[in-house]
C-alpha cells in the first residue's frame, strides 16, 4: 500500500516580503502569496511593450499628467493573500498618486491604466484572471495588446470588453478624454 508524504506548507508572502527577496535575475510575480516564475519575454513582446510605453508616454509627458511605469514594476492587485503583478506599462494620474510620491516598495493605490502585452505562450484564462485582478483592484482601464492577432482589447469596470483591430482607433475616455491613436501604431 502506497503512503502519501506531506511536506510542510509554504508560508505565504506579503507584498512587502516579496519586495525584499534578493534579485536572482528571474522574472517573478506574487500570486496569492506564492512566487510564480515567468519566462523571459521574446524580442517581439519587448518591442510592443516599448511601443506601448512610448505611445502612452508621448501623450502623458507633454501634458504633465502623471507617472508612467514599465519594466514589470510591481502593482498590488490583491491583499490577504497578496498579489503583486508587473504590468508591461501602467499610468497613475497625479490625482491618483501625488506628483512627489515615491512609494516603496509598491503604491498603495491602483493605477488608472494598465497595459498588458500578450505573450504567445500566455493562456487566455490566465490573462483574463490577471485583467480581472486589475479591475477588481481598482484599475480603471486595462488594455490587452495582442501582437499575433494585431488587436487591442479594452477592459473597463463599467462596460463589456471592446476589441479593436489594427484598422481602428484606440480611445481611452475613462482616463484620457482627448487621447486617440491608431491601433496599428502598436505593431509598426
Average the pLDDT over 46-65 and give the result. Answer: 96
Question: Domain segments of the chain: what residues?
Answer: 66-188
Q: What is the pLDDT of residues 145-164, one digit of tens each?
A: 999 999 999 999 988 999 99
Judged against a pLDDT cut of 50, whether residue 8 lies above it is answered with no
Quick one: what percent of the chain has pLDDT higher than 70? Answer: 95
Please, are residues 124 and 149 in contact by the beta-carbon 8 Å criterion? no
| Stretch 69-94: mean pLDDT | 92
pLDDT of residue 179: 98
Q: What percent of the chain has pLDDT over 90?
A: 71
Residue 23 confidence (pLDDT): 84
Q: How far is CA 162 from CA 23, 74, 111, 144, 153, in A?
A: 37, 26, 20, 10, 5
Tell which residue, 72, 103, 64, has the closest CA to residue 90. 72
Q: What is the pLDDT of residues 22-43, one digit of tens each?
A: 888 888 889 999 998 888 888 8
- 3 vs 87, higher pLDDT: 87
Backbone angles phi, psi at 40, to 5 degrees: -65, 145
Any idea which residue has 485582478 for its cell? 133
Q: What is the pLDDT of residue 120?
A: 82
Domain 66-188, second-level architecture: Alpha-Beta Complex (3.90)
Largest pairwise CA distance in the chain: 71
pLDDT in tens, 91-136: 999 999 999 999 989 998 999 999 999 988 888 998 999 999 999 9
Mean pLDDT of the chain: 91
Amino acid at each position: 500500500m502506497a503512503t502519501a508524504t506531506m511536506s510542510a506548507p509554504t508560508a505565504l508572502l506579503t507584498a512587502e516580503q516579496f519586495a525584499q527577496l534578493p534579485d536572482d535575475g528571474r522574472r517573478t510575480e506574487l500570486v496569492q502569496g506564492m512566487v510564480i516564475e515567468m519566462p523571459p519575454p521574446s524580442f517581439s513582446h519587448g518591442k510592443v511593450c516599448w511601443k506601448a510605453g512610448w505611445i502612452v508616454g508621448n501623450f502623458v509627458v507633454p501634458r504633465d499628467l502623471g507617472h508612467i511605469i514599465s519594466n514589470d514594476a510591481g502593482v498590488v492587485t490583491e491583499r490577504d493573500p497578496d498579489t503583486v503583478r508587473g504590468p508591461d506599462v501602467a499610468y497613475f494620474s497625479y490625482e491618483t498618486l501625488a506628483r512627489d510620491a515615491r512609494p516603496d516598495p509598491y503604491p498603495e493605490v491602483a493605477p488608472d491604466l494598465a497595459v498588458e502585452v500578450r505573450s504567445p505562450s500566455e493562456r487566455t484564462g490566465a490573462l483574463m484572471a490577471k485583467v480581472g485582478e486589475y479591475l477588481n483592484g481598482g484599475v480603471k482601464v486595462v488594455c490587452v495588446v495582442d501582437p499575433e492577432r494585431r488587436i487591442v482589447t479594452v477592459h473597463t469596470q463599467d462596460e463589456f470588453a471592446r476589441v479593436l483591430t489594427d484598422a481602428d482607433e484606440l480611445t481611452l475616455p475613462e482616463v484620457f478624454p482627448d487621447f486617440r491613436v491608431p491601433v496599428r501604431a502598436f505593431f509598426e
